Chains A and B, each alone.
Chain A
Amino acid sequence: MSLLPIPAVLRLASTGDLDATNSIAFREFVRAQLTPETAHLELDLAATRFLDSSGLGALLALGKCMRLRGGTLRVFNAQPRLGPAISALRVDQLIEIVQP
């Protein structure tokens, strides 16, 4: 048996906080990684300890972008510390957040 990469899935892992200082750059960076084949985007937020409304805005924008392409956005490993922001804005109803 051999394992092959799945070009339709792009998985990216964050390296730090996602807030007003970097949300626009983050959004544009992720968008730049999308290829015509990318149908599903997966973001790993294990290293993100802080997420503010700007960061959430970036996630929602990426979710919208993927929906328009007929694809999906899934967020993995969102830390409990991000809970207040995610639950207050009910982001989990707009983006699939896979609990660790």
Chain B
Amino acid sequence: MSQPIIHPGNSLCLTCPCDVRSIRGIAKSIREFLQTEGTPADQLDAWELITAEAGNNAVFYARDERCQLPIEFAVEVTTHHTELRITDHTPGFEMPERIEAPDPLAEGGRGLFLMASLSDSIDYRRGRHANCMVIRKNHAPVAAPSATPRIRTASAADESLEETLQTMTEELAASYESLSVIFRFTEDLNRSEVNDSFIARWLAELKAITLADWFVLRLVDSEQRQLVVAHASATTAELTPLPLPSADTSAFSVEATAAHERRDVWFEPSQPGLAADPLRILGTSLGGLAHPLDVGGDLIGVLTIGRFGADNPFSAGQVNIIHTVADFLALQIRNAQFQKARVRAQLIDREYEVASQIQRGLLPKSHPSIGAWRTEAYCQSAQRVGGDFYDVIPVGPSGLLLAVADVMGKGLPAALFAAVFRSLLHARLDLAPTPGRFLDWLNANLLRDLSELDMFITAQLAYIDTAAREVRVAGAGHPPLLLAGAESPTQEVPSEGPPLGIIEGLEFEEGRLPLPAGARLLMYTDGVSEASGTAGEQAGVQPLKELLDHAVLQGETGVQTIEHLNTWLKAFTNDLPAHDDRTVILVAEQPAPNAAAAAVPPTP
């Protein structure tokens, strides 16, 4: 509690911290003062109670940083009445038009009714940053008033009135200044972009308006880990980033405290711990306010602004302006960050769209047939741009090269390597009849680029010689090809070999198998054989073999078999999104109703 200021007449002003224990002390002091003023004993009890209730009321409505602001009490005794004014800095409350008696069974909510019952009038003036409750009790008429006290009273009343007017004028001026700042800020915002220059300009303006000596604006970094100095009134080379969140109280920092507790932190030169505060490099005698920049619950940063020297605090009006500018700035900074992120996302979207178009362009536009040999294929990317690739290329009058590849990873890099793979594949179709040698050559040409990026490609090449009824297969880290025929169950054709891009000078083995009558060949990537079921189990190769057996038995077309495969995959995975790309090539020997119309002319 502060030292009482007793005016020469009959008034008393006191301030106390915003807590109920201090209020009790104030109530006692006011009782003692009124006793010296000759207030009757029964009235003393009432005023002690009124003071306590009004003060407690202010404490209960205080929140956040406003708890740090003191409550002011002024009591004045005139010949006609005793008046108590309580000024608080809380958000205040809605004063009811009529103060009703509380519910007799309720445990709380009696304070206002008590005050009203014990006084003649209560006036509650609610302001943006301060509220004033004026409680008055008229004196009983006095038969022979004394002249002397009346003169003294008038003097004190005038003084109090002048003080009130001065406070009101200051509040009005601060409100006007705040409004003016908002208008200028908005006008500036319409003219210019929110960038470093805009922020620096407004911080300099704020420093000038509030007569501050210095400021530091820290912003939360993009990883949400640190508070980094973005702007400061002086060189801040030594102001290192502050970690977030900072619940560590061992290293005191007003900025970190404001950020962590999301409240204004006031400080003055004599404050314990300030000597170790990182801000100390700005000067030895710092006082001011650290204000968290919070937008919709998201911490943007902390603005700390202050003056040098003791006993030089900001006025309520100046604090009002600091809050206004800081909160406006926070909103604009957040908007600018959102805008930047949106543009970045649009650019990435566009890049992916281009990559996706490139990837779609790599796949064959149609699936060629040679004689009775028909092909069906598809590629489903797990992401917008996948790493799977396939191709079906007629070679000469009776040859068909089938290629399936899976570039490690997904997204843009995988799509780019798929493009490179396709270019190389089409560059040496002369190697198609010997897929093993073809893989040797592809490995040699991809090795350097893939090694540099620690990437690799699994691939499988199959060459179908329809004239010789033979298939030649070579693989690089790829699942086995499945071959089915009318006379025997589906068999796996292993094509073992490490993926492309890992080992230099490799010679890939090549398998040769005769093609049975009504043959079905299935090539696929591991996204199919390793599809996950609802219990996390992998699909495996067996269901694919059974599908092929069934296809041969039923004489299905390639389209029907692909449909059955998709239906089965959908049921097995419970139609959940795929984790990996899925690519399938199916070749079926199937006489066409009109073979001439279905055949696609082979490339020379």
Report how far A50 CA is from B48 CA in the complex, Å.
Answer: 9
B24 touching A19, Cβ below 8 Å = yes
B114 touching A21, Cβ below 8 Å = no
Report how far A46 CA is from B163 CA in the complex, Å.
Answer: 43
A8 at the interface (CB under 8 A from B): no
Of the A-B pairs whose beta carbons lie under 8 Å apart in the complex, a sample of 7, sorted by A's number, is: A20-B56, A52-B49, A54-B56, A81-B45, A84-B46, A88-B113, A89-B117
A56 at the interface (CB under 8 A from B): yes
A64 at the interface (CB under 8 A from B): yes
Report how far A88 CA is from B106 CA in the complex, Å.
Answer: 15
A85 touching B20, Cβ below 8 Å = no
Which residues of B have CB within 8 Å of A60?
Answer: 104-107
Interface readout for A15-44 with B: 1 if CB under 8 Å, 0 if not? 001011100000000000000000000000
Report how far A50 CA is from B24 CA in the complex, Å.
Answer: 10
* In the complex, residue of chain B having the shortest beta-carbon distance to the beta carbon of A67: B105
Most buried by A among B46, B49, B114: B49
A53 touching B20, Cβ below 8 Å = no
A20 touching B23, Cβ below 8 Å = yes
Report how far A61 CA is from B104 CA in the complex, Å.
Answer: 10
Selected from A20, A83, A88, A89, the residue in CB contact (under 8 A) with B20 is: A20
B325 at the interface (CB under 8 A from A): no
B42 at the interface (CB under 8 A from A): yes
Report how far A7 CA is from B245 CA in the complex, Å.
Answer: 56
Most buried by A among B27, B104, B106: B104
* In the complex, residue of chain B having the shortest beta-carbon distance to the beta carbon of A59: B107
Report how far A52 CA is from B57 CA in the complex, Å.
Answer: 12
Most buried by B among A61, A64, A85: A85
* A-side interface size class: 20 to 34
Report how far A84 CA is from B110 CA in the complex, Å.
Answer: 13
Report how far A54 CA is from B60 CA in the complex, Å.
Answer: 12
A52 touching B53, Cβ below 8 Å = yes
Which residues of B have CB within 8 Å of A56?
Answer: 110
Contacting residues of chain B (79-109) with chain A, CB-CB under 8 angstroms: 101-102, 104-108
Report how far A82 CA is from B118 CA in the complex, Å.
Answer: 13
Selected from B24, B49, B105, the residue in CB contact (under 8 A) with A85 is: B49
B340 at the interface (CB under 8 A from A): no
Contacting residues of chain A (49-100) with chain B, CB-CB under 8 angstroms: 50, 52-54, 56-58, 60-61, 64, 81-85, 88-90, 93-94
Report how far A83 CA is from B118 CA in the complex, Å.
Answer: 11
Interface of A, helix, strand, loop or mixed by DSSP: helix
Interface readout for B477-514 with A: 1 if CB under 8 Å, 0 if not? 00000000000000000000000000000000000000
Number of A-B contacts (CB under 8 A): 70
B56 touching A57, Cβ below 8 Å = no
B34 at the interface (CB under 8 A from A): no
Selected from A20, A83, A89, A94, the residue in CB contact (under 8 A) with B114 is: A89
A53 touching B111, Cβ below 8 Å = yes
Closest chain B CB from A87 CB (angstroms): 9
CB within 8 Å for A20 and B52 given contacts A83-B45, A84-B46: yes
Which residues of B have CB within 8 Å of A58?
Answer: 107
B20 touching A21, Cβ below 8 Å = yes
B108 touching A57, Cβ below 8 Å = yes
Interface readout for B392-415 with A: 1 if CB under 8 Å, 0 if not? 000000000000000000000000
Interface readout for B4-34 with A: 1 if CB under 8 Å, 0 if not? 0000000000000000110110010000000
Closest chain A CB from B175 CB (angstroms): 33
CB within 8 Å for A89 and B110 given contacts A19-B24, A19-B52, A21-B21: yes
B104 touching A88, Cβ below 8 Å = no
Report how far A85 CA is from B101 CA in the complex, Å.
Answer: 13
* Contacts A56-B110, A84-B46 supplied; 8 other A-B pairs, CB < 8 Å: A21-B20, A52-B52, A54-B56, A83-B45, A89-B113, A89-B114, A89-B117, A90-B104
CB within 8 Å for A94 and B104 given contacts A81-B45, A85-B114: yes
Report how far A26 CA is from B118 CA in the complex, Å.
Answer: 25
Which residues of A have CB within 8 Å of B110?
Answer: 53, 56-57, 89
* In the complex, residue of chain A having the shortest beta-carbon distance to the beta carbon of B112: A53
Which residues of B have CB within 8 Å of A64?
Answer: 105, 107
Report how far A54 CA is from B23 CA in the complex, Å.
Answer: 13
B42 touching A84, Cβ below 8 Å = yes
Closest chain A CB from B45 CB (angstroms): 5
Report how far A17 CA is from B49 CA in the complex, Å.
Answer: 12
Report how far A58 CA is from B106 CA in the complex, Å.
Answer: 10
Selected from B20, B45, B107, the residue in CB contact (under 8 A) with A57 is: B107
CB within 8 Å for A84 and B21 given contacts A52-B52, A60-B105: no
